[in-house]
Structure formats: structure tokens, C-alpha cells
A and B are shown apart, each in its own frame.
Chain A
Amino acid sequence: MTFNRLTHLEALESEAIHIMREVAAECRNPVLLFSGGKDSIVMLRLAEKAFLPGRIPFPLLHIDTEHNFPEVIKFRDKLANKLKVKLIVRSVQDSIDAGRIIEKPNQSRNTLQTTTLLDAIEEFGFDTCFGGARRDEEKARAKERIFSFRDEFGQWDPRNQRPELWDLYNTRVHPGEHMRVFPISNWTELDVWQYIHNEQLEVPALYYAHEREVIERNGSLLPVSHLVRPKPGELTQRITVRFRTVGDMSCTCPVISEAENANEIILETAMTRITERGATRMDDKTSDASMELRKKEGYF
């Protein structure tokens, strides 16, 4: 007798749905961190599938750097509206204006999100935050649990993580502490694109090949915008590019690509020789341990 087997993507989907339902069953006040990027779009689709025909039983939270690509913000609002999920937005700019964060000149706002995020968690009393982080993105993430405990200061202690055996998740926290939960921990960039392809999910257009004005700085391409102006001696050029991640416009770099749809991206990703973060995030290049340090302080 032979039995059907699940494909790797079906197995990953099943795992993610199981994790989301576990949070819905056991946690008091969860929220899904949503940026409008491809990973959070996949997360939202998984949440939809997990709870149909019911509604998604938690709101979305976006920590807005106000350095985002305008088309991503438009897309974010459209999707939240379509799925009838409440979207909470808290702004890094507000935290700066209130004196909660001191912004240094030329600093990426990706790191500044931590304070705004922790303030929002406290404001709404969230005990669980879903994140779309994947272990293949970065080596500190590779060691993080799926249910990742945060103390009352929002900090991650990599040396003292809760053991996580089988898929029996311990979701318990004391008041003031919270959990970060990563349902797509075991997905790779390729899996995400295959899922987008299979489920025919819409993503912001800047993920696909388009013409854009860019400059070359420190060996990377940077999109020209109101935040990035060519310095003396830097030449702007119009070329066909796409973004592999969408974050702070001032430090998110596109790659040269002709891929016009998910399928072409799958082919390109299957062949690419540069990791996602290395290619596209200038702030991850600064130190061998930069993500580990950021995570310890409470970053996503």
C-alpha cells in the first residue's frame, strides 16, 4: 500500500498554520507584525487559511519608519482593508518627535524601530507578536526558537532560550513579558516565492523588474529618492532592477534583474549566489554580530 506524501511546501504551510492556531488558542492578546513586504504578505495569507471561514482573530501592527516606499504603504492599506483586519500603525517619527529616540545623521531607521515597537507592545498590552523572520536570513536568526521569549524589557537572551521539543510549544509568559512567534522560521527565500506563485498572491510592484533611477555607493545600488540624493561625483543611472526586500528606502538596495513575475524570480533565486540580506541591506554589513546585538535589545 502506498501513501501520498506532502510536498515540502505543503509541509511548511501545515507547520505555519499549526503555529498560528496554537497562538490563537493559548495566547491572550496576539498581534501580527505587518510591513507590506513579501514575508508578511505570506504570513497574512497563512493566517487567512488558518482561520477560514472565520476572520483572522488578531490585528496587524506596522512600525512605520516613514522611510518606506510609498507604493508599499499603499499596498499595506489595501490588503488590510480587503481582509477586513484592523491595522495599527505606530510611527518611528512620532517616537523621535517625542524624544524617545535620538536619530543620528545618515542612520538607517531599521534599527530605530525597536523603541517604537516595544512602546506599542506596552501600549496595547500584546503578549504575542507574530513576525515573518526566517532562519535562513541571518545567523542569529538561525538559532532562534519559533516561540521566542522576551523578558519585561523586550530583550532576547540567546544563551538562555527555552528548549523547544517536537512541536509542543510552551506559550506561557508572565505579565509584562511577551513572545515573538515566527511561523515561517523554516522557510527560505525560495519557498516564499514559490508560495506566492502557487497561491497567486499579489505583492507590491517594486518586487518585480522595473526601471528606476539609482546611484552606486559602497559597491551597492541605492534608489534615488527624497532621502537619497547623489553626492558630488556620484552619477545617477536608469536601469532595470527589482527589490528583494523592502525596508528603509535610504538603505534598501535593488538588484539588477529582468524577472517580471514570481515564476521568473523563482528561477533567478534558485540560481543566485548572494544572500538576501547581504545584497540588499547596508546596515547588516556593519558587523559580524549586528543582528544578534539588535535582537538582544528587542528588534524583530
Chain B
Amino acid sequence: MTALNTPPLKTMELLRFSTAGSVDDGKSTLIGRLLYDAKSIFEDTLDAIARTTMKKGQEGLNLALLTDGLQAEREQGITIDVAYRYFATPRRKFIIADTPGHEQYTRNMVTGASTSDLAIILVDARKGPLIQSRRHAYLSSLLGIRHLVIAVNKMDTANYSDKRFKEIQHDFEPFLKRLGIPHLYFIPMSALHGDMVVERGENLDWYKGPTLLDLLETVPVSLSTAHLPARLPVQLVCRPQTPELPDFRGYMGRIESGTLKTGEAVTILPSGQRSRIRNLYLGEKELSEAIAPQSIQVTLEDEIDISRGDMIVSSQDSLPKTVRKFEAKVCWLSETPLDLRRKYLLKHANRTVKAIVESLDYLVDINSLEQKPALTVEVNDIAHIHLKVLQPVMAEPYHENRKLGAFILIDESSNMTVAGGMIEKA
């Protein structure tokens, strides 16, 4: 019994992906199908769904009900907030961020996409790509997603037509290529009948590519940032000052990119001081090497004054820039519009500093991608701005390093998170 299941589980990787689409695209049905066919739905959940399906006067098993969590959502038949779902196959464990499609929930979509490696956008085979499909694709590219799957769903309502699928691909591809997303995939499917989701089914023989699950199991986990320069933002300093450990000084944090080794030459930012890594710890265990995104602790050869928000980086790699001014795109999340006269708190890589928006350059029309002039930024707007921070931050462009390029803005008096930002030029 022992050896049977444990080895594959142990070596499993984690893939996070998001799904976006409107109520009518069959997004909830697709997720329900994925979980159902991957045998990740439990019996009592199915019972509850069968009861609710019947109560609503519908027939069979409404798989869409699996993903609607809140009472308010069930009453209105819509998705308001991001819901997280989990399933695993013998090859991978998956976290789905299921996001609402409607324009008024752009901020929820951005939230779901911010931690994803891959995004699935649903397109109804009868309707083809809609304005909102373009919006979802744009937001996915903005958030740095490298794998975009266009799930051409409801193929059963288009006679499983090869021609219709190619039409949609032909129609949508030029726009997607303009966004510069490195990996694009088009998959025809019927979530309702289960074709090309987990099983190939019998209706789409002309399609020779992978099923959706095949793809999810094999795309590289691109959030892995191990190949980038080594960056360790210091989260917490450990100084036990006990009789046994009077002088211990450990720097705790998560390696956001790259690899750190014992003995490696490092530079501390923003001070620019240099030292070498003496020890690397994970809990009580000593490591010779640690990789992103491990949460570890390091000790250094030299006694240097380092505090939370400083950054330990490999001296061999190019250093991130230490800046007080930078350009960024922000997604405005708050019902209260941007106030250009106010100071906000900016949180970036364990540093929280005061920030002022120096200039509001333009808004992006997320349907046409055109730039439009504006005097303010309102909820769900995407804006290009110039920011000035009162203490320096160690920044890199978001498209080069997602972890060092992302920040949030906080309203100091209400404590609300008012914007998510991506550094464009530091």
C-alpha cells in the first residue's frame, strides 16, 4: 500500500490559472466539467447540486452551480467575486481563480490574473469573440500572463464545424498577436458534452491538438522565476538574543527570483554594501542552495545594518534600479477616484512608502486599446501614470520580473487597497 500513490504526489508541480468569460459563455459549466471529469467533485457536493438544480425547476445536473459560492450570487445567477477551486491529476495540482467576466468586475479579473501562470478565455462558438473577450485578453497580457488559451466553447451549437472554428481563430488572432502574449492556444470544445475538455469525445475528430487538460498538464509553469537574477527582499530580521544565540542575525524572506548559494557574493540594496552568504536555512534545515519562490533565511559573513524592505541580490547579476520616480500602469480598484493632490501608501517588495501621482498621462480604453486623455481615474480604469516615492524602491519593469514590478496603492485614511500597479519604466 505504501509505495502505490506517494511518489507521483510528491513530485507534483503547482499550476495556477484563471478563467474569464461572461455568464453566457459557459464558463461555470467548463469548470464544473473539468472538475467532474477529473473526478474532483465529491458525492455530497453532487447531491447538493442535484437538489438545487431540481429546486430551480431544471433537469439533470447543472454543473455551473458548482462554482457559484455566495448566496447573493446564487440568487442573482451571476458571479461577483473571485472563487478559488482546487483539483489534481497524477501529474499536477491546479489552483483555479474563477473570475467574473462583466466589465464592472474588471478589478476581480485583475486580482485573479495577478497570481496566474495561464489564462483561459471562453468564446461562444456561435457569437465569436466579443468586445469583452478582447478586454479579457488585454488584461491577461497586462498582468503578464504568458500562456493564453482561447476555449471556443459550445461547438455543439455550431455543428462541431471545423470551418466555424477556423473563422473564429482567423478573426481573433491578429488582435491577440498585437498584445504580444508569447503562447497562444485555440481549442474547440463543448463543455456541456465534455468534448476536448478532459476527454477528446467523438465530435471533433478534425482537431488534432491537445485537450484542455492535456495542455494544463504540460505547459511550463512560467511563474517559476528561477532563471532570473537572484533577488531576496528582506521581510523580517531574526535576532533571538538568547543566551544560546547572543549574536545570531538572520534575514528572512522569500527569494522572488533566481537562485542563492552559500558562499555567494551579494550586494545589499539600497545601501550598496557587499558581503557573502554564510548559511541558508529553511526551518531547522541548512541548505547549500535555495531557489525562487522559497521562503528562507540567510546569514551573512559581515555584520551589516539591514532591515525589512532592504534587498539582498547576487553581486554577479545585473542589479535592480534604486529609484524615486517611475512610470506605471495602474488598475484602479476603488469606488473613490484617484485624487492627484493626495499622498498614497505604496507597497512594493516588503517596502511601504509614501507616494504621489505626479502625472496622469492617459487611460487605456480596454475595448479598443486606444489611449484617451483623462482628468481622473475611476474604478476599473486602466491608467498610465508617473509616480514619485518619498523613499527609494528597488524596481524592475513588470514584464521582466513580475515580483519586482508589482505594487499596490493604499489609501492611508480608509486603509482600502485602491490600485494595483505594474512598473513599466524605472
Q: Nearest Cβ distance between residue A14 and chain B, in whole angstroms?
A: 4
Pair A6/B293 contact, Cβ less than 8 Å: yes
B5 touching A267, Cβ below 8 Å: yes
Contacting residues, chain A, for B124 (C-beta < 8 A): none
Across the interface, do A263 and B254 meet the contact criterion of CB distance under 8 Å? no
Given known contacts A52-B284, A266-B9, A142 and B114 CB-to-CB distance under 8 angstroms: no
Identify which of residues 14-39 in chain B touch chain A, using a CB-to-CB cut-off of 8 Å: 14
Q: How far is the CA of A191 from the CA of B93 in the complex (A)?
A: 10
**Residue numbers in B under 8 Å from A9 (CB-CB):** 10, 12
Query: In the complex the two chains form, is B69's CB within 8 Å of A159's CB?
Result: no
Cβ contacts B389-406/A at 8 Å (1 or 0 each):
000000000000011001
CB distance from B389 to the nearest CB of A (A): 15
Q: Smallest distance from the beta carbon of A20 to chain B beta carbons, Å?
A: 9
The reply to whether A14 and B294 form a contact with Cβ atoms under 8 Å apart is yes
The winner among B1, B14, B52 for most chain A CB atoms within 10 A is B14
Q: Note all chain B residues with C-beta closer than 8 A to A119.
A: none
**B115 near A166 (CB under 8 angstroms)?**
yes
Residue of B5, B14, B417 near A163 (CB, 8 A) is B417
Contacts of A186 in B (CB 8 A): 84, 86, 95
A173 interfacial contact with B, CB 8 Å: yes
Return the CB mask of B34-54 against A: 1 if under 8 Å, else 0.
000000001111001000100
Contact partner of A165 (CB less than 8 A), chosen from B245, B281, B406, is: B406
- What would 29 A/B residue contacts be, using CB atoms closer than 8 Å? A3-B291, A6-B13, A7-B11, A7-B13, A8-B13, A14-B254, A48-B283, A49-B282, A50-B295, A53-B245, A139-B69, A143-B70, A163-B108, A163-B111, A163-B333, A163-B417, A163-B420, A165-B111, A166-B402, A168-B406, A168-B407, A168-B408, A185-B84, A194-B9, A273-B43, A275-B42, A278-B44, A279-B44, A288-B74
A-B pairs with CB below 8 Å: how many? 191
Give bound CA distance, A21 to B250, whole Å.
13
Chain A interface (Cβ within 8 Å of chain B)? 1, 3-15, 17-18, 21-22, 24-25, 48-55, 135-136, 139-140, 142-143, 158-159, 161-168, 170, 172-174, 185-186, 188, 190-191, 194, 197, 263-264, 266-267, 270, 272-275, 278-279, 288-289, 292
Q: B304 at the A/B interface (Cβ < 8 Å)?
A: no
Taking Cβ atoms with an 8 Å cutoff, the residues of B that contact A are: 1-2, 4-6, 9-14, 42-45, 48, 52, 68-72, 74, 80-86, 88, 92-93, 95, 107-108, 110-111, 114-115, 221, 224, 226-227, 235-236, 238-240, 245, 248, 250, 252-254, 259, 281-284, 291, 293-295, 297, 308, 333, 347-348, 350, 402-403, 406-408, 410, 415-417, 420
For residue B289, which residue of chain A has the nearest CB?
Answer: A4
- Bound CA span A14–B295, Å: 5
Choice from A11, A22, A51, A194 contacting B14 with Cβ under 8 Å: A11
How far is B26's CA from A157's CA once the two chains are assembled, in angstroms?
28
Which of A22, A51, A161 makes the CB contact (< 8 A) with B81? A161
Tell me, in angstroms, the Cα distance from A292 to B69 when the chains sit together.
Answer: 9
- Cα A49 to Cα B250 with chains together (Å): 13
Q: A52-B284, A173-B415, A273-B43 are in contact. Are A288 and B408 (CB under 8 A)?
A: no
